[in-house]
Structure 1
């Protein structure tokens, strides 16, 4: 996602409100789910970003879809709709997520491996790499990538740690040729 000053302002306001209500983690989880739902259904996303439908009608649709969701989440989406900023929703969620993770001392990481990681492996990776990025722990998403042959590739933000067999073979090839 690209950095958006507008999205960061909305996310910051939403995060402060969620913290005041002591519900930042709940809001974070629900925002992730709402983002998945909105972006899984292109028709819904287009509808919410369309100028042809009134904001009140859009809020009514969002309210019916998100029945039982946290009030901060629903109200925040309402503010985005009121200000014609639904096109920034994904950026707002990403910015909120970054704020919430920083407050919790965690970072999100993607681990590419040839098979599903066990819970012990996840904990071990988290313990080994969290301190390298100044965090207490990592939230790990495991992506299966058979072409690695073996080992793992870990991405935490802009940091990439590659201990895959594929990377080791490429390094060996460069050493032998160069």
Structure 2
């Protein structure tokens, strides 16, 4: 948990620097590229994350393999800082934390909506507008069809869930009927 809050601090500082210089999108791409590189190149990951390999060797490795793929010197410098502080493993989740910080600062909220059937364009537009009014933020909407909910919808706004599904209503009805029958 402490690691995540530290990552948020690094991401916020990186975003502020990038915003001042107009390179937030480049930084996001660089971080995603590094995350992909470390996910696909197990050897590189093992060396970079190994605690007994000295910092200068890790930085040489960064200069040879990672830095050429980065368009931002700020990302390379951040990786050096992470190596100096033995926090290289933050590279696993720093891209996602950076995206979250960027969205929050830009006033964007991610919303996931599950429905039993696909939404029409009109309903999608109405839903997006309603969510925009509810959250008072720009809405980044992701939809998913899940026929198990029978009808209605389940809306996830960051860590909040609004469950208006038919299956949820049926479960609540059953629970209330059983509670009433027991009384």
Q: Distance in 1 between matches of 2:19 and 2:161?
A: 31
Structure 1 34/144 Cα, relative in aligned 2: closer, same or farther at 3 Å? Answer: farther
Deviation at 1:62, TM superposition (A): 1.5
Q: Distance in 1 between matches of 2:82 and 2:41?
A: 18
SS in 2 for 1:139: strand
SS in 2 for 1:4: helix
Structure 1 33/161 Cα, relative in aligned 2: closer, same or farther at 3 Å? Answer: farther
> Which residue does 1:7 correspond to in 2?
7
> Which residue does 2:40 correspond to in 1?
41
Runs of 4+ in 1 over 6 A off after TM superposition: none
Q: Distance in 2 between matches of 1:120 and 1:170?
A: 30
Q: Distance in 1 between matches of 2:96 and 2:17?
A: 17
Q: Distance in 2 between matches of 1:156 and 1:94?
A: 17
Q: Distance in 2 between matches of 1:116 and 1:45?
A: 41
Deviation at 1:52, TM superposition (A): 5.2
CA contact (8 A) 2:3 2:90 kept: no
From the CA coordinates, give the structure whose radius of gyration is larger: 2
Match status 1:62 vs 2:66: yes
Which protein is richer in helix relative to its size?
2
Relative to structure 2, which stretch is displaced further, 48-57 or 98-107? 48-57
Q: Distance in 2 between matches of 1:110 and 1:39?
A: 28
Relative to structure 2, which stretch is displaced further, 45-54 or 96-105? 45-54
Unaligned runs of 5+ in 2: none
Total equivalences in the alignment:
174
Unaligned runs of 5+ in 1: none
Deviation at 1:125, TM superposition (A): 2.8
SS in 2 for 1:8: helix
SS in 1 for 2:100: helix
SS in 2 for 1:84: coil
Q: Which residues of 2 match residues 13-92 of structure 1 at below 5 A?
A: 13-32=13-32, 34-35=34-35, 37-38=36-37, 40-41=39-40, 43=42, 44-51=44-51, 53=53, 54-59=57-62, 60-64=64-68, 66=69, 69-92=71-94
TM-score, normalised on structure 1? 0.75
